Amino acid sequence: MKFGVRIKDLRTRKGLTLDQLAQETGSSKSYIWELENKNPPRPSAEKLSAIASALGVTVDYLIGSDKQTLSQAEDTAFFRQYSGLPEETRRQIREMASILDTKSRK
């Protein structure tokens, strides 16, 4: 999958508009559009990092050098975020996961 297609796919999966992704990354709407539609895109390392963070994936996944699936990349981003949470919040998340797991097995 090409870089621009990957960004657009991730953006739309997250329900973000061009404007919203631009705002989250400190970019303009036209810049995000160019990344999605021009070949080859030439984002700076700083912009790559901001876009990857906003889309919940690694830079390696975004540029296609990481062979993880989207689901694996999202899991990696989730666990990174989870690790930074206070212990009580992590306990609540584990409790909810257990409830959802039990519910899905019925």
Confidence of residue 81 (pLDDT cuts 50, 70, 90): confident
Rounded to whole angstroms, the Cα distance separating 83 from 32 reads 30
Q: Is the pLDDT of residue 94 over 80?
A: yes
| First-residue to last-residue Cα distance in the chain | 37
pLDDT of amino acid 56: 86
Number of neighbouring beta carbons within 10 Å of residue 1: 10
Residues 77-86: b if buried by 16+ CB within 10 A, e if exposed: beeeeeeeee
Q: Is the pLDDT of residue 11 over 70?
A: yes
CATH number of 3-104: 1.10.260.40
What confidence tens digit (pLDDT) does each residue in 24-79 have?
999 999 999 999 998 777 888 999 999 999 998 888 888 887 666 666 767 777 88
**In the numeric block, which tokens belong to residue 99?**
């409830």
Amino acid type, 74: E
Q: Is the pLDDT of residue 87 over 90?
A: yes
Mean pLDDT of 1-9: 87
Number of neighbouring beta carbons within 10 Å of residue 92: 12
Confidence of residue 7 (pLDDT cuts 50, 70, 90): very high
pLDDT of amino acid 70: 65
Number of neighbouring beta carbons within 10 Å of residue 51: 23
